[in-house]
């Protein structure tokens, strides 16, 4: 693992990815099919899982985000830090101020599989951004509005969960990374803001 910098807060030592560690569009690793992760996890894979989540936590802290010149994210996939493996972190904060301590979804998803997708489509009203894509690419990114997701967590526990709204969109975006797909691949090139019937808008 590349250790960018060590810094102390609340007298704990953190090591976090910096923007220079994030692979940008054009690097072939972003277009590769990532191989599955083997269990039990190696020490390196456990560290990677931890570091992927830590980036999201630090990036969502306004002071640390500014201090380390990060771009805030709600998802980060292993290929985005140059590691071609089926692993991604997802941390979707709760917008409800009273529930801000309990994220809408937080986990490192390993070997994730979307076992079913709703017929209904959904897209983020403001389009999607990606830490590996520096320029804004406008347009709707049509996805399934709801998914059933199967994955394994860092402890080797299997999960099968239903997701809707923002967490469903974020997980589909991150799982795309594990298959070499980027969000703009889904944007209609002739009319980026085409709205299909039966498409709902999220946020």
Provide φ and ψ at 185, rounded to 5°. Answer: -60, -25
Catalytic residue from among 97, 126, 174, 199: 174
Closer residue to ligand 4LI, CB minimum distance, 28 or 138 = 138
Q: Looking at 35-43, 104-112, 125-133, 146-154, which segment touches ligand 4LI (CB under 6 A)?
A: 125-133
d(CA 157, CA 137): 37
Figure out which of the listed residues 51, 85, 128, 176 binds ligand 4LI, where binding follows CB under 6 A: 128
| 8 Å CB contact between 202 and 127 | no
Going 107 to 111 to 115 to 118, the CA torsion angle's sign is: positive
Nearest approach, Cβ of 156 to Ni ion (angstroms)?
26
CB of 42 to ligand 4LI, least distance (A): 26
Our answer to whether residue 54 is catalytic in this structure is no
- Largest Cα–Cα distance in the chain? 53
Residue list 121-160, contact with Ni ion (CB under 5 A): 130
Copy the structure tokens of residue 26: 């054009």
**Interface segment toward ligand 4LI; rule CB under 6 A; list 7-15, 146-154, 168-176, 190-198:** 168-176
Told to check if 176 binds ligand 4LI by CB under 6 A, we report: no
Q: Which residues contact 5 (CB under 8 A, 6 or more apart)?
A: 15, 16, 18, 68
Element (H, E) at 43: helix 43-59
Q: Judging by beta carbons within 10 Å of its beta carbon (0-12, 13-18, 19+), is residue 141 exposed, middle or buried? A: buried
Locate 198 and state its tokens. Answer: 């039966």
Ranges within 44-83 binding ligand 4LI (CB under 6 A): 60, 72-75
Could you tell which of ligand 4LI, Ni ion, none binds residue 203, using a CB distance below 5 to 8 A set by kind? ligand 4LI
* CB 73 to ligand 4LI: min, Å: 3
Interface with ligand 4LI (CB under 6 A): 60, 72-75, 93, 124, 126-131, 136, 169-170, 173, 203
Catalytic positions? 174
């Amino acid at each position: 693992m590349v250790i960018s910098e060590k810094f102390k807060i609340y007298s704990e030592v953190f090591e976090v990815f910096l923007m220079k560690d994030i692979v940008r569009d054009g690097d072939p690793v972003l277009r590769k099919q990532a191989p599955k992760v083997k269990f039990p996890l190696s020490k390196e894979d456990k560290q990677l899982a931890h570091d992927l989540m830590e980036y999201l936590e630090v990036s969502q802290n306004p002071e640390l985000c500014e201090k380390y010149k990060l771009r805030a994210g709600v998802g980060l996939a292993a290929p985005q830090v140059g590691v071609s493996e089926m692993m991604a972190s997802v941390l979707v904060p709760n917008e409800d101020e009273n529930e801000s301590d309990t994220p809408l979804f937080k986990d490192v998803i390993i070997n994730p599989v979307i076992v079913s997708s709703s017929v209904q489509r959904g897209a983020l009203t403001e389009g999607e951004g990606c830490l590996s894509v520096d320029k804004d690419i406008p347009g709707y990114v049509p996805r399934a509005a709801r998914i059933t997701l199967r994955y394994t967590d860092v402890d080797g526990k299997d999960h099968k969960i239903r997701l809707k709204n923002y967490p469903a969109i974020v997980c589909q975006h991150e799982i795309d990374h594990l298959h070499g797909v980027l969000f703009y691949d889904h944007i209609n090139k002739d009319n980026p803001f085409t709205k299909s019937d039966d498409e709902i808008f999220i946020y």
